[in-house]
């Protein structure tokens, strides 16, 4: 049962320069909010902060609440937030099934039950016989789907997407995007998507936050503007 | 110059039997050069014997260089370890002894109190009591005699040169076929001393400490001789073998024809081991060659002093000395005076075969005494100045 | 809400568990530095103090510059310096050049893969064995001359030619290249696995660059920083090598390292002061050489950039490929011949000039030594394993710590870790021995492992540091967000992905430990005998048959770790580990 993901006063600084001005937003369960901005505006750092893996070189602060629980003090593995990157980052020394198994939370279920779960997930994604394959032998689209499966199998309560569609070709991108959003909505996961592609934002249909980076001279502070959410036409 | 049998200081024990009983069960770490299989085997035999008779475990720490053990004793002294040291017994020669004695790194005096010391030939072999003109003072136990002999391959050398002048002439006729280890290697330095004996007008002065003037005067003929000799040496005298073992290998390889060694039985031993061809023989110079003894000593902080003394005593025993001199085992000359022994043992010594390449004592001749250590220091320094560039 | 409560309590429990683990890991850099600080300080003081006249045990109680005066007035010094610098730089430059040109011109070819497979046995051969084999091959009474004499040359006795122990130190340089080039090649191959070579080359080739030029312009700049430290290690070793120099370099005058060894070993103990000053000089030379190399790197970088910018495409480089292939094969041949020579000597009874093969054979030597070899090998392996595993644990701990807490081993810390490689061993170990005796660790297993650790950890660290740091951080992030604790990430993700560099580090570390003579003798106080202490002690007798036997056995012991490290196929794991993206 997941609740909403809310950020309050989240800011990120690097070497004294403010990268992201204090940001407050809330993502409802099943909603896909989008953070947009050009490269270097700190989008990936924001995601890193939310999931707790921000490099110590950055100074950051603010509150992050998931289902009403403050998680900004928790280590990443306790936050139950899944993240998808542009690269699938499947662990190259493991098979597809092992990759998926890595994400499955520990529980009383035996090995066979876990394997059955993984097989079911693969079958549902149309990758039924791919369990024992080497990730290198899969196509880009297949790997992206496995990466998504891995994240979902870890039963996250929120989803962060760091430009995950960038590597895929147009046709694949649209399909995969639909898949990801469908899963997010059906599992009612608050999802934060970072992208520079307006089409992704349109497809997401949630609130859009636009990060404007500070001017090179530092005159203009980094800002953000929240565009009133508009609904995707059903 | 000879010390008499009176001990200069009180021995460290009253009753030898107490020492023997204390030694039982001890482990004696004997730090000795490990380069010869035969010597290693001999030391193994010693270990078996002292284990059987005295219950001592003898561990042979094989060294490439005695200095490694000396450095350890030095480090232990620097760290304040005055007992329980890691070296119990050490095989040394005169150079090491002089330095260790000067730095108070040795235990003793004890050597003259050992029961088997009474067999030592202190009259016929004065080097057992005065090592490098430094009195032994009971701080080390003589183990074997050494005398410079020259080795040569009879198939390549007809009549070997028996004097320094003859050597120069021979080298002139056979350039690149002779060399000597570079000082400060012990054998190389002794070659220089031997040359000095052969070329100096007043060899007796070598027994006195060297002064600047006496050195300049006595050593004067040596340098021109070396200057003429070096271009005729192996590699034109631009480099020298590192030690006597390396030089023996050159002889074996056929790169040189004449070598030198401190052990009169070395050639026979090497031939028996296949390290030299069977056609190698030894000779000494007219007028004699320098001789000395090699010793074993106990560091001041040795852990198993009693065991070490018992082992040292065993090394002096007629049984051990006989076996050591046997050319089938080691071939190292004894330090004992055979005329002091029981008739049966005396006969055994007398009937020992000489090695195939070993000179009889008569042919070996008397050993020249080592010069005063100050001569060697100056010789080495001057040699390095002139030729070590 | 129940879920949230469950989450809080489990988070708390996990937090305390994590805190305990954090403690141990956080301690790693401090622990490493602590393990190094005392010995390195002792070693340096043990060298520096006598260099300035202070060694109370020998009566030196006043600081003075007299040792330096004696050092500078030593007649052997100018030649020793010249020989050291010539052979050291010649060997290092040649090794680096051969490796780079070989990788550039021959990468991806069958020859490259064949050479890669043969690396393991070559790296396992101890330095002294290579030197002895080479000396036997090249000596005037050696194998090459025997093959041609006396039928072709008319030499019934060996000629008086300075082929080995030549005054320029070329034989020594050659021996060093035979050992160091394969080591650098191994490091370069490991570094190339961290950089995607195939993609970069494909891009370069598609832009019209020839294979060699493409590699040099697109791959080398990214590979070089990762092999920089191994190159410095090679340079330091070449300038301070003793065991190979004893065999291949002239004895009078010898290179500086051998000269120092001789001075330290003189019966006249007063020479230790001069020798200590010489040791400081040697340390300064090594440091200056590394600094000089580093500044030369800057110059090369500038030239390189201009060269890259010029855009010359380069040709097929076929001649260069053939030439460097020949050179590489020649090096491998030399190393193999050394091993073969040692092997033949071990079963020879008589083998004199001008016989090409032994005239009498005998296996009695093997039968004789068989009993002793077992315990010796066991001690060597146990000691090597202990030291190497400790080193690996510490190195990984420090590197992981760096990642997790940003606690980098500072530059000064790095100097501490690499100091044992820079200071001449014979003087370093004296001070170390004093310290060990003072704390009653001499002759103990702990002291022995500790002293080996000092020489093994630097190599392990420099084999692991760059591969570890260049692991794509996002793998760890993904794993964390999938719910894996940092420890799980380390054991299940990072370490398996670093398997090959870790095995290389293990193999190199083990070989380093197996080859230590003085540290074993000193810290072990003569109580522990390894294959190397036995081999060096026996080698003093200049019996090639015994030496050959021990050389062969010494080569076999590190063979297994090296074989594992090299022959394990470069798994897709490592190849894909460092994808771009940051």
CATH code for residues C24-64+363-582: 1.10.3720.10
Q: What is the pLDDT of residue C483?
A: 87
Q: Give, to the nearest 10 degrees, the angle between helix C318-346 and helix C170-194.
A: 120
Structure tokens, B217:
């005067």
Neighbours of chain C (3+ CB pairs under 8 A): A, B
Structure tokens, B218:
């006595």
C-alpha to C-alpha distance for A17 and A221, rounded to whole angstroms: 9
pTM, two decimals, is: 0.86
Is residue A196 within 8 A of residue A39, CB to CB? The reply is yes
Structure tokens, A234:
């059903």
C-alpha to C-alpha distance for C511 and C513, rounded to whole angstroms: 5
Q: What is the pLDDT of residue C317?
A: 79
Structure tokens, C282:
């040697």
Option in C8, C474, C480 nearest A76 (CB): C480
C352/B contact by beta carbon, under 8 A = yes
SS3 of A162-197: the string is: ECCCCCCCHHHHHHHHHHHHHHHHHCCCCEEEEECC
C-alpha to C-alpha distance for B136 and C177, rounded to whole angstroms: 49
CA distances from A31 to A85, A202, A206, A226, C252 (A): 19, 13, 6, 15, 84
Name the more confident of B19 and A212: B19
Bridge partners of A223, per DSSP, are: A212
DSSP element (H, E) containing A60: strand A58-66
Q: For residue A159, give the chain C residue with the closest CA.
A: C481
| CATH 1.10.3720.10 placement within chain C | 24-64+363-582
Interface probe with C: pick from B44, B75, B91, B244, most Cβ of C within 10 Å: B75
Question: CB–CB of C581 and A79 under 8 A?
Answer: no
Interface probe with C: pick from A50, A72, A81, A89, most Cβ of C within 10 Å: A89
Is residue C256 within 8 A of residue C84, CB to CB? The reply is yes
Q: For residue C269, give the chain B residue with the closest CA.
A: B99
CA distances from C305 to A229, B268, B319, C299, C311 (A): 50, 68, 79, 10, 10
The answer for B 227-256 residues in CB contact with C (under 8 A) is: 234-236, 238-242, 245-246, 248-249, 252-255
Question: CB–CB of A68 and C480 under 8 A?
Answer: no
Option in A74, A75, A89 nearest C475 (CB): A89
Helix (H, G, I), strand (E, B) or coil at A209: strand
Q: Position of tokens 């059906």?
A: A186
CA distances from B141 to B73, B134, B291, B316, B320 (A): 18, 14, 17, 8, 14
Q: Of the ranges A209-223, C308-322, C523-537, which one carries the lowest mean pLDDT score?
A: A209-223
Option in C267, C438, C521 nearest B99 (CB): C267
DSSP element (H, E) containing A85: none
What average pLDDT score do residues C157-186 get?
A: 92
B115/C contact by beta carbon, under 8 A = no
Q: Position of tokens 């990466």?
A: A147
Interface probe with A: pick from C13, C477, C574, most Cβ of A within 10 Å: C477
Q: Which residues of C touch A79 (CB under 8 A)?
A: 481
Q: Which residues of B touch C264 (CB under 8 A)?
A: 67, 71
Q: For residue A156, give the chain C residue with the closest CA.
A: C482
C-alpha to C-alpha distance for B298 and B9, rounded to whole angstroms: 16
C-alpha to C-alpha distance for C378 and B152, rounded to whole angstroms: 43
CA C251 to chain centre: 24
Q: Which residues of C touch B388 (CB under 8 A)?
A: 75-76, 79, 252-253
Bridge partners of B131, per DSSP, are: B134
B156/C contact by beta carbon, under 8 A = yes
DSSP element (H, E) containing B152: strand B149-153
C-alpha to C-alpha distance for C132 and C345, rounded to whole angstroms: 11
For each of the domains in chain A, give its residue range(s) and CATH number, in order of start: 5-80+156-227 (3.40.50.300)
Give the model confidence (pLDDT) of B187-222 as tens digits: 999 999 999 998 988 888 888 888 888 899 898 999
Residues 6+ apart with CB under 8 A from C522: B71, B72, B75, C429, C432, C433, C436, C442, C451
Residues 6+ apart with CB under 8 A from C461: C391, C395, C398, C417
Give the model confidence (pLDDT) of C227-240 as tens digits: 888 999 999 999 99
Question: Per DSSP, which regions of C102-214 are E strands?
Answer: none
Question: CB–CB of C496 and A93 under 8 A?
Answer: yes
Quote the DSSP letter at residue B111: G
B279/C contact by beta carbon, under 8 A = no
Option in C4, C480, C497 nearest A77 (CB): C480
Give the model confidence (pLDDT) of B254-274 as tens digits: 999 999 999 999 999 999 999
Q: For residue B270, give the chain C residue with the closest CA.
A: C543
Where residue C205 falls among pLDDT bands split at 50, 70, 90? confident
Single out the residue of B200, B272, B214, B235 nearest to residue B41, CA to CA. Answer: B272
At A210, give phi and psi (nearest 5°).
-110, 125
Structure tokens, C78:
């100018």
Cβ neighbours around A232 below 10 Å, total: 11
Q: Which residues of C touch B96 (CB under 8 A)?
A: 267
Q: How many CA atoms lie within 13 A of B20 on its CB side?
A: 12
C-alpha to C-alpha distance for B331 and B261, rounded to whole angstroms: 13
CATH code for residues B16-144+292-356: 3.40.190.10
Pairing of strands B258-261, B149-153: antiparallel
- Gyration radius from chain B CA atoms: 21
C535/B contact by beta carbon, under 8 A = no
* Whether the predicted pLDDT of B4 surpasses 70: no
* Whether the predicted pLDDT of C154 surpasses 90: no
Question: CB–CB of A91 and C493 under 8 A?
Answer: yes
C402/B contact by beta carbon, under 8 A = no
Q: What is the pLDDT of residue B132?
A: 76
Helix (H, G, I), strand (E, B) or coil at A210: strand
B149-261+367-387 fold: D-Maltodextrin-Binding Protein; domain 2 (3.40.190)
The answer for C 394-433 residues in CB contact with A (under 8 A) is: 405-406
C-alpha to C-alpha distance for C406 and C218, rounded to whole angstroms: 31
Give the model confidence (pLDDT) of B341-376 as tens digits: 889 999 999 898 888 888 888 888 888 888 887 888
C519/B contact by beta carbon, under 8 A = no
CA distances from A168 to A34, A142, A143, A174, C67 (A): 19, 10, 10, 9, 72
Measured in residues, chain A has a length of 234
Q: Which residues of C touch A67 (CB under 8 A)?
A: 3-4
Q: Which residues of B touch C360 (CB under 8 A)?
A: 274
CATH code for residues C91-253+288-343: 1.10.3720
Option in A79, A92, A102 nearest C576 (CB): A92
Question: Per DSSP, which regions of chain A are E strands?
Answer: 5-14, 17-27, 32-36, 58-66, 69-70, 81-84, 158-162, 191-195, 208-212, 223-227
Query: Of all residues in chain C, what percent carry a pLDDT higher than 70?
Result: 93
Q: What is the pLDDT of residue C309?
A: 82
Interface probe with B: pick from C72, C244, C269, C524, most Cβ of B within 10 Å: C269
Q: 10-residue block means of pLDDT along chain A (234 residues)?
A: 82 84 88 83 85 86 90 88 88 89 83 88 88 88 90 91 85 88 91 88 86 54 49 34
Chains B and A touch, contact meaning at least 3 pairs of CB atoms under 8 angstroms apart: no
Quote the DSSP letter at residue A233: P
Q: What is the pLDDT of residue C580?
A: 39
Option in C75, C539, C542 nearest B385 (CB): C75
Interface probe with C: pick from B33, B39, B61, most Cβ of C within 10 Å: B61
Pairing of strands A69-70, A17-27: unpaired
C-alpha to C-alpha distance for A227 and C12, rounded to whole angstroms: 39
Q: What is the pLDDT of residue C569?
A: 55
B29/C contact by beta carbon, under 8 A = yes
């Amino acid at each position: 049962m997941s609740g909403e993901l809310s950020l309050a006063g989240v800011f990120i600084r690097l070497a004294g320069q403010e990268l992201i001005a204090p940001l407050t937003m809330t993502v409802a369960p099943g909603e896909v909010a989008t953070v947009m901005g050009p490269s270097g505006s700190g989008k990936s750092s924001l995601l890193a902060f939310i999931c707790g893996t921000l490099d110590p070189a950055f100074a950051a602060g603010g509150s992050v609440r998931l289902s009403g629980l403050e998680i900004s003090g928790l280590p990443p593995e306790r936050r139950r937030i899944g993240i998808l990157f542009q690269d699938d980052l499947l662990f190259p020394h493991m098979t597809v099934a092992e990759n998926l198994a890595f994400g499955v939370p520990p529980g009383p279920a035996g090995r066979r039950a876990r394997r059955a779960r993984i097989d079911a997930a693969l079958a549902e994604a149309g990758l039924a016989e791919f369990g024992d394959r080497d990730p290198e032998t899969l196509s880009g689209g297949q790997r992206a789907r496995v990466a998504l499966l891995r994240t979902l199998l870890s039963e996250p309560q929120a989803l962060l997407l760091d430009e995950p569609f960038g590597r895929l070709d147009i046709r694949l991108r649209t399909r995969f995007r639909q898949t990801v959003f469908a899963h997010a909505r059906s599992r009612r996961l608050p999802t934060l998507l970072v992208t520079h592609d307006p089409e992704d934002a349109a497809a997401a249909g949630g609130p859009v936050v636009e990060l404007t980076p500070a001017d090179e001279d530092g005159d203009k502070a980094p800002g953000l503007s929240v565009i009133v959410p508009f609904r995707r036409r059903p | 110059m000879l010390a008499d049998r009176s001990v200069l200081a009180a021995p460290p024990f009253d009753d030898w039997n107490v020492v023997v009983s204390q030694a039982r069960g001890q482990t004696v770490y004997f730090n000795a050069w490990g380069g010869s299989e035969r010597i290693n085997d001999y030391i193994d035999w010693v270990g078996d014997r002292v284990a059987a008779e005295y219950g001592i475990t003898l561990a042979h720490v094989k060294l490439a260089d005695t200095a490694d053990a000396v450095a350890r004793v030095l480090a232990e002294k620097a760290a304040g370890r005055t007992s329980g040291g890691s070296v119990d017994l050490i095989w040394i020669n005169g150079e090491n002894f002089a330095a260790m004695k000067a730095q108070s790194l040795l235990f003793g005096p004890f050597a003259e109190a050992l029961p088997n010391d009474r067999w030592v030939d202190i009259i016929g072999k004065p080097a057992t009591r005065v090592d490098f003109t430094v009195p032994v003072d009971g701080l080390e136990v003589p183990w074997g005699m050494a005398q410079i002999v020259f080795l040569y391959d009879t198939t390549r050398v007809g009549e070997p040169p028996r004097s320094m002048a003859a050597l120069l002439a021979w080298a002139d006729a056979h350039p690149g076929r002779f060399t000597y280890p570079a000082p400060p290697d012990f054998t190389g330095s002794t070659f220089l001393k031997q040359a000095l004996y052969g070329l100096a007008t007043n060899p007796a002065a070598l027994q006195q400490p060297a002064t600047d003037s006496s050195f300049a005067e006595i050593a004067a003929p040596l340098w021109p001789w070396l200057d003429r000799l070096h271009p005729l040496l192996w590699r034109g005298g631009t480099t020298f073998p590192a030690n006597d073992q390396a030089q023996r290998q050159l002889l074996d390889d056929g790169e040189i024809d004449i070598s030198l060694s401190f052990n009169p039985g070395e050639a026979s031993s090497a031939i028996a081991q296949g390290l030299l061809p069977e056609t190698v023989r030894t000779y000494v110079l007219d007028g004699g060659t320098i001789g000395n003894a090699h010793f074993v000593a106990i560091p001041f902080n040795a852990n198993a002093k009693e065991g070490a003394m018992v082992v040292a005593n065993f090394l002096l025993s007629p049984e051990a000395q006989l076996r050591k001199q046997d050319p089938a085992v080691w071939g190292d000359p004894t330090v004992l005076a055979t005329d002091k022994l029981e008739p049966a043992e005396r006969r055994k010594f007398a009937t020992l075969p000489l090695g195939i390449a070993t000179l009889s004592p008569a042919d070996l001749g008397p050993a020249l005494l080592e010069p005063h250590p100050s001569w060697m220091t100056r010789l080495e320094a001057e040699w390095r100045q002139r030729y070590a560039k | 809400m129940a879920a949230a409560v469950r989450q809080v309590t489990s988070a708390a429990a996990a937090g305390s568990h994590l805190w305990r683990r954090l403690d141990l890991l956080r301690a790693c850099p401090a622990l490493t530095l602590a393990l190094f600080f005392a010995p390195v300080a002792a070693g340096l003081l043990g060298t520096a103090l006598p260099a300035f006249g202070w060694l109370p045990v020998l009566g030196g109680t006043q600081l003075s510059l007299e040792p330096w005066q004696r050092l500078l007035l030593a007649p052997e010094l100018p030649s020793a310096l010249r020989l050291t610098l010539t052979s050291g730089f010649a060997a290092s430059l040649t090794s680096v050049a051969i490796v780079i040109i070989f990788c550039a011109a021959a990468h991806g070819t069958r020859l490259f893969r064949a050479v890669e497979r043969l690396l393991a046995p070559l790296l396992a051969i101890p330095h002294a064995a290579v030197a002895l084999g080479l000396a036997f091959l090249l000596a005037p009474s050696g194998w090459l001359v025997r093959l041609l004499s006396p039928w072709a040359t008319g030499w019934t006795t060996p000629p008086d030619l300075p082929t080995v122990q030549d005054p320029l130190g070329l034989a020594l340089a050659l021996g060093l290249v035979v050992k160091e080039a394969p080591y650098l090649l191994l490091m370069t191959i490991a570094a190339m696995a961290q950089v995607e070579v195939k993609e970069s080359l494909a891009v370069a080739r598609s832009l019209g660059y020839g294979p060699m030029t493409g590699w040099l312009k697109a791959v080398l700049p990214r590979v070089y920083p990762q092999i920089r430290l191994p190159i410095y290690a090679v340079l330091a070793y070449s300038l301070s090598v003793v065991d190979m120099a004893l065999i291949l370099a002239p004895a009078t005058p010898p290179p500086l390292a051998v000269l120092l060894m001789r001075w330290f070993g003189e019966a006249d103990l007063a020479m230790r002061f001069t020798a200590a000053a010489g040791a400081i000089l040697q340390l300064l030379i090594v440091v200056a050489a590394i600094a000089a190399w580093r500044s030369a790197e800057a110059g090369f970088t500038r030239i390189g950039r201009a060269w890259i910018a010029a855009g010359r495409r380069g040709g097929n480089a076929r001649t260069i490929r053939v030439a460097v292939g020949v050179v590489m094969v020649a090096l491998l041949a030399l190393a193999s011949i050394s091993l073969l020579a040692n092997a033949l000597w071990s079963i020879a009874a008589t083998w004199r000039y001008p016989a090409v093969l032994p005239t009498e054979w005998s296996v009695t030597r093997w039968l004789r030594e068989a009993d002793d070899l077992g315990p010796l090998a066991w001690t060597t392996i146990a000691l090597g394993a202990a030291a190497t595993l400790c080193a690996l644990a510490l190195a990984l701990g420090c590197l992981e710590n760096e990642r997790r807490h940003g606690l980098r081993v500072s530059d000064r810390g790095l100097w501490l870790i690499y100091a044992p490689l820079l200071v001449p061993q014979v003087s370093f170990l004296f001070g170390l021995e004093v310290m060990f005796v003072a704390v009653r660790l001499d002759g103990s297993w702990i002291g022995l492992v500790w002293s080996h650790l000092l020489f093994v950890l630097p190599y392990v660290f420099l084999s692991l540091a760059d591969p570890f740091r260049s692991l794509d951080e996002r793998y760890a992030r993904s794993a964390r967000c999938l719910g894996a604790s940092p420890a799980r990430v380390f054991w299940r993700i990072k370490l398996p992905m670093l398997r090959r560099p870790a095995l290389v580090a293990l193999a190199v570390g083990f070989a380093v430990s197996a080859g230590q003579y003085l540290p074993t003798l000193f810290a072990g106080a003569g109580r522990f005998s390894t294959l190397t202490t036995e081999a060096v002690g026996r080698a003093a007798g200049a019996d090639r048959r015994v030496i050959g036997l021990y050389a062969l056995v010494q080569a076999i012991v590190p063979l297994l770790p090296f074989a594992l490290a090299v022959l394990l196929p470069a798994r897709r794991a490592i190849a894909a580990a460092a994808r771009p993206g940051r």
